[in-house]
Amino acid sequence: MNALKASVASHAHSKESQRRWPTLFLVLLALCSLVLTACSVDITTTQKMDANGKGTRSMTVVAELSKKEAGKVDVKKIEKTLKKAAPEGTKVDSVKKKGRKLTVSVTMSFKDIEDYKKVLNNALDAGGLSPSVRVDFESINAQLRHGFTLEENVSSGQLLQWVRKALLDNKIVSKKKADAVSPKDRGGTLSVGNESTKAPRTPFQESKVTDHGFIAVTPLIEKRTDGYRFAVVYRVESGSREAEKAREKWIDSVMPDGAQKVELPGSVGTDREHIAVVMDVKDETELKDALGALLGDKNLEVSITDLDEPEGLFTRVYEYTLEADCSQICEDGSSIPLRPYVSTPGVGTDGYKYPNQSTLDELGFTDGAIFTAISEVSSDNRFHALDVKPMKMTSITALLKPGVGEKASFEVAVAVPESELGAEVEKLEEAFTPSHGSLTSEKKDDQRVFTFTWEGKNPEELERKVQVTFNSFSMQENRGGGLWPESTVQVDFAPERDLNTTISSIPTLKVELPLMHGVKGGVPADGFGLHNGHAEFAYSGPALAWFITMGVLLLIVIAAIVLLVVFRKKIAAKLKSAGEGNRDGHSSQVNAYNTVRAQYNPPAPPAGDAGPPAPPADSTAPPAPPGDSTAPPAPSTPPAPPVPSTEDAGPPAPPPLPEK
C-alpha cells in the first residue's frame, strides 16, 4: 500500500496534465465531424473486475447531432471501419443512431491485471501514442477489511484515440471537422467484486475499503531456554458495533490452540483499548505458524538466530528477522501499523525499548525481560536487527600477585552459567583470549569458569596489558624503605562496567604475596570486596638488603662452626696418638716381668705328679742359742713378686734380685 501511494503521488502532475490534454477525446471529435454541427459529445466508462483483475472495460460515446445533419450519418460504414481497426483485446459492440443521438459502444476484455495492461498498451499503440501504462490494483476481501483500490494513468479518451485515426485514415471525416468539437469525460462506475464506486472522470484513481482493522499491531517475542513466549497486542479504536464484532470474530477465528486472550487497559484519557493474545511455543516452527495466524499472514517469516561469533567479551549476538504483511488486519493510514519487539537473554544494548512494563507483567513475561524493537528495513514490513547481549555472570574473582617490585601477575576468574553460553566453548576461548595474556576454562557444576592471566615485568607493564581487555584496571604501589619495608597498593577494577553487564555478586580481589610477606591485617577469606571498583591494602616483607645482611651473617656463623669442628678434630687426634704410645711401653715392661718371673717360679707340675723330693735339711747348721738374736735367720723361700696391674699409669718396678 505504501508503494502504491508513493507511486500515485509521483504521478499526480502527469495525471492532471493528461486530464487537460487537448487530444483526450479526439475520437469523439471524429464522430461529431460526421455532421456539420454537433452540439455535444460525452464519454462514459463502466469497468467491472474480480479480485484477480479479470474483467471488462466498456466505453460509450454519445454525440448529439443537429436536426439538419442527423440524416447524413452513414452508421454502417462507421461500424465497419471501426470493427476493422479495433486493436487486439478491444471489440466494437455497436454503432447506433436514435433520433439526433449517435452512440458508439466499445468493450475491452482482459484475464488479469497483466493482461489488462497489455490490452491498454495495444489500444494506445493503435492510436499512435507511445505506450506508458501504469496500473496499481489491489483487491481486499477479509473479515477486517474488504474493498479495492485501482489507480492508473490512462484515460478513456486516450484509449479511443485509434477511433479518430481510423476515421481520418479512411477519409470518413476531415481533421478540420474532427477538431471542431470539445468532448467531455463523464467518468463512470468502477466495480470490483461486490464493491463499486462512482468516478467523476478517468483515469481511474479510486479506492473503496471498508476497514475494521487495528490502529497498530505489536508482536512481543521472548526467547527462552525451553522455547518462546509471545504475545500479539492489538491496538484498536472504539467505533461502531459492527467494527467491534468484526474484530472479536476475527481474533477468535485465528487464535491457535493453547492461546489465551487478554483484555488490557486502554490509554488514559482516550477511547483506545488493547486486546492481546499470548501463547507459549516450543520452537521456531510453531512460532511462525501461530504468529502468522495472528498477523493474518500465512507467508510470515520469522527467525531469532544466536550467532556463533561474539562481537565482544562475554557477549552473545542475536540476529532478528521478520517479514510480515499486516495489510489485511492493520488499519490503512497508520504510520506504524506493525512494530515487533524481541527479548533474548541478557540486557539489550541498543534500540527502542518497549515502554509499558505493566503490560509485560500482565502477559506473564519473565520478570525483568527487556524487549527491543526490531527496525524496519523497507516499506513492506521487512524487519531486521542485530542485538549484542552481555552474558549474565555469577561471579568475578581477581587474583593479584604484586611480585614485590619485580615480576607481577594478575588473574581474573569469570564464572558464567552454562545456559548463557550460546556457542561452543572452544570458539569462545578462541574469541576471548587476550592479545597479551592467556585464557583457560573449566566446568564446575553448572558453571563455566574462564580464567584470564597476564604477567608483567613490573606493575606498569602489567597494567598496560590488562587494560587492553579490562579498561578499568589500574594499579599503584607505594613501597617504603629499610630492611623490612611496608608497601601500600591501590587497585581499581570494575569488570561489570567493562563488560557492560550485571554480576550476581560483588567482584572480589584476592592477594598472593611472595614468601615471608604478609598483608597488614590479613586478607579476608573471600578476598577484598571491590565496592565501587576499588580496593586498597598494605603488606610488608623483607627487602633485598635484608636477604644480603642475613646471608652475610649466615656465612659468618657457618665459618665459625667449621673452624670449631676442625679444631676439635685436631685435638682429638693428638690425644689419640699419645694414648697409643703409653699402651705400647706398658706392654714391653709386662713382657720383661713375665720373663723374669718365669725364671724364678717354674711352672707347677701337672696334677698327680708330686715332683722331685725336697732336699734334706742341712743338719750341720747349729741351732741358734736361745735369746740370741744375732744369729742369722734360717734360709727360706723368697716371696713372689706382685702381679702388675694394667690400670697403673706406668709399668711396675722390677722385682728385687735374690742374693747369691
Per-residue pLDDT tens digits for 12-27: 444 444 444 444 444 4
- pLDDT tier, 131 (very low <50, low <70, confident <90, very high otherwise): confident
At 188, is the pLDDT very low, low, confident or very high (cuts 50, 70, 90)?
very high
Residue 38 has pLDDT above 50, yes or no: no
User: Is the pLDDT confidence value at 652 over 60?
Assistant: no
CA distance 196 to 187: 14
Letter for the amino acid at 584? D
Model pLDDT for residues 507-566, shown as the tens digit of each residue: 999 988 877 777 877 778 778 888 788 888 888 777 667 778 878 888 899 988 988 888
What was the pLDDT predicted at 597? 67
Q: Which residue has the higher pLDDT, 95 or 180?
A: 95
Residue 183 has pLDDT above 50, yes or no: yes
pLDDT at 122 over 90: yes
Cα distances (angstroms) measured from residue 322 to each of 93, 132, 228, 297, 301: 51, 35, 15, 12, 6
* Residue with grid cell 743338719, as numbered in its chain: 619
DSSP, res 392: P
Least confident segment among 55-64, 207-216, 634-643: 634-643
List the Cα angle 646/651/654 in 5-degree steps: 120
At 162-172, the pLDDT tens digits run 988 888 888 87
Task: Please give the pLDDT value at position 599.
Answer: 66
pLDDT, residue 35, reads: 42
Grid cell at residue 127: 492510436
**Given CA atoms 167, 19, 176, 69 in this order, what sign does their dihedral have?**
positive
Residue 333's region, left for phi above 0, alpha for psi from -120 to 50, else beta, is: left
* pLDDT for res 429: 82
Q: What pLDDT is attached to residue 259?
A: 94
CB contact at 8 A, 119 and 110: yes
What share of the chain in percent tops pLDDT 90? 25
pLDDT tens-digit map of 254-279: 999 999 998 887 644 344 567 899 99
* Under 8 Å between Cβ of 38 and 32: yes
Residue 69 — very low, low, confident or very high, per pLDDT cuts 50/70/90? Answer: low
Residue 5 has a pLDDT of: 42
| Residue 650 pLDDT > 90 | no
373-394 pLDDT per residue, tens? 887 776 666 788 777 777 878 8
Whether the predicted pLDDT of 648 surpasses 50: no
Tell me what pLDDT residue 365 has: 92
* Grid coordinates given for 334: 497508520
Q: What is the pLDDT of residue 230?
A: 95
The average pLDDT across 130-159 equals 88
Tens-digit pLDDT profile for residues 600-614 = 666 655 555 555 555
Yes or no: say if 42 and 189 are a contact pair by the CB < 8 Å rule: no
Per-residue DSSP letter, 301: E
Instruction: Say what the pLDDT of residue 20 is.
Output: 43
Given this model, what pLDDT does residue 268 score? 40
Asked if the model's pLDDT at residue 34 lies above 50, the reply is no
pLDDT of 620 strictly over 70:
no
Q: Is residue 55 predicted with pLDDT exceeding 90? A: yes
State the chain's mean pLDDT as an integer: 78
| pLDDT at residue 206, as a whole number | 92
C-alpha cell at position 342: 524481541
Which residues does residue 393 pair with via DSSP β-bridges, in sequence order?
A: 503
> What stretches of 90-174 adopt beta strand conformation (E)?
90-98, 101-110, 135-141, 145-152
The per-residue pLDDT for range 430-463, each reduced to its tens digit, is 888 888 899 999 998 889 999 999 998 888 889 9
- Interatomic CA distance for residues 154 and 120, integer angstroms: 8
The residue among 368 and 54 whose pLDDT is bigger is 54
Contact 228/222 with Cβ under 8 angstroms? Answer: yes
Which range, of 2-16, 207-221, 404-418, averages the lowest pLDDT?
2-16
Confidence of residue 579 (pLDDT cuts 50, 70, 90): low
Minimum mean pLDDT range among 205-209, 325-329, 365-369: 325-329
C-alpha cell at 265: 487497559
- Determine the average pLDDT of the residues in 648-659: 53
Between CA 91 and CA 107 the distance in angstroms is: 5
pLDDT of residue 117: 95
